[in-house]
Amino acid sequence: MRKTYVYDKKQGKVVERHERTDKEHFHYVITDDVPEGMQHPCNGLWYTSKSNFRKTTRAHGCVEIGNETQTPRAPSVDRESVRNDIIKTMYQTGLKK
């Protein structure tokens, strides 16, 4: 089982999660290592470091799913005006009489 470490403010040091004395406020320590490793889909190599994995992803011009930046949405369209424009065009072209 993997150990989880947190920073205990009362003790002023990093301790195992179950050893902390401050039950309300604590910080998780997230490590960079991946003990089981991850195989990168771009080059097939195995990585045990999250940061190296991400560098390779960026180097190949790819984006991690969940970490991409959101693109702005198109402004909302007034459906009624679009409908009227379509009907008007249909009358002008003779598709509707």
Distance separating alpha carbons of residues 17 and 19, to the nearest angstrom:
5
Q: What is the pLDDT of residue 23?
A: 57
Residue 40 confidence (pLDDT)? 93
pLDDT for the residue numbered 59:
95
For the chain, report the end-to-end CA distance as a whole number of angstroms: 75
Cα separation, 40 vs 34, in Å, equals 13
Q: How confident is the model at residue 26, as a pLDDT?
A: 59
Give residue limits of the domains in the chain: 1-30, 32-61
The low-confidence residues of the chain, meaning pLDDT below 50, are none
Residue 18: the pLDDT is 64
**pTM, entire model:** 0.44
* pLDDT value of residue 42: 92
Question: For residue 9, what pLDDT is reported?
Answer: 76
